[in-house]
Amino acid sequence: MRNKTLKLLVLFPLLLGLPLFANASELKVAIANDAPPYVADNAKSGLEVEIIQLALPGYSIKFLQMGWGEIQDAIKNGMADAETNVYDHGETGGHYFSNNYVGFVNYAISRKSEDIKIDNVNDLVGHHVIAWKGAHLDLGPEFERLFSPGGAGSKNYVEIQDSRDQVRDFWKNKDSIAIIDKNIFAHFSMNQGHSMDEVDTHKVFLPVSKFKMAFKDEKTRDEFNKGLTRLCSTGEYARLLRKYGIPEKANICK
């Protein structure tokens, strides 16, 4: 009986494709400040946290939280081995980009009391529009044309690093429109004493923002991609979306 138990203990990790006796290598990952349901509890839980941990089971992941704008330089500044929420715009710099690992379903959100009509991206121009750092490059060609520096909507457009501060800025300014994932907006609005009953959510056909990870070395990037493929093929990725209440539209496996 003892021999049978030992065989099972040896066989189980092999079936999962995990090393038997190797010590887990530490991997420092730059990740955003808490923005539930994607990152929560000081990066101890959340969709992104679980995806990364499950895709890289052979590593001891150490998450380093920072603003969106700071993440992009974390490897270059020697702070991290990997960066989350990276959008590959074709820049070079020695990073190894993964496949898309997470998607955000974006809405334009305004106050009901303002009765703002938004049917397309052009209707955002002239309002105080708030988005995340680098969003003008992430939301499609029309948004980029209108809200890049010098664009028709750039005068009243701001990009803010932290999701909590994005939502705070929205509630401070009456004529505001937040471009943001609805789940993140709802979480921070509730924390700041507001309700989703106070807002309108506009479907302006913004694309799902799909982000990659950037790695310092190619081997870890390749392992992450293999792990992502496994999460997709086993249905684990779809299960995580359901667990965190994320729309199926955000599924990067499709």
* Digit-coded pLDDT (tens) for 143-168: 999 999 999 999 999 999 899 999 99
Residue 13 is assigned to a structural domain of this protein:
no
Note the pTM of the prediction, 2 decimals.
0.83
Range of the domain at 214: 25-103+209-250
- Residue 9 placed within a domain: no
Q: Distance (Å, rounded) from C-alpha 187 to C-alpha 195?
A: 9
pLDDT grade for 203, boundaries at 50, 70 and 90: confident
Structural domain includes residue 18 = no
Q: How far apart are CA 250 and CA 208, in angstroms?
A: 7
Structure tokens given for 195: 């309700």
**What residue type is 24 in one-letter code?**
A
Q: 157 and 90: one domain?
A: no
* Residues 98 and 112 occupy one common structural domain: no
For the chain, the 3-state helix, strand and coil shares in percent, each to the nearest 5, are 40, 25, 35
Sign of CA dihedral 166, 167, 172, 175: positive
pLDDT at position 252 over 60: yes
CATH number at residue 179: 3.40.190.10
Cβ within 8 Å of residue 64, ≥6 positions away: 28, 29, 30, 31, 74, 79, 80
Question: Could you give the number of structural domains in the chain?
Answer: 2
Structure confidence by residue, pLDDT tens digits, 114-131: 999 999 999 999 999 999
The answer to whether residue 7 is domain-embedded is no
What's the confidence (pLDDT) of residue 2?
A: 47
Q: Which amino acid is at 81?
A: D
Distance (Å, whole) CA 181 – CA 35: 10
Together in a domain, 132 and 190: yes
Return all residues near 230 (Cβ < 8 A) that are at least 6 apart.
Answer: 17, 55, 236
Asked whether residue 88 falls in the same domain as residue 136, the answer is: no
Residue with the bigger pLDDT between 63 and 72: it is 63
Residues linked to residue 160 through DSSP beta bridges, in sequence order? 132
Could you tell me if 133 and 184 lie in one domain? yes
For residue 41, being part of any structural domain is answered with: yes
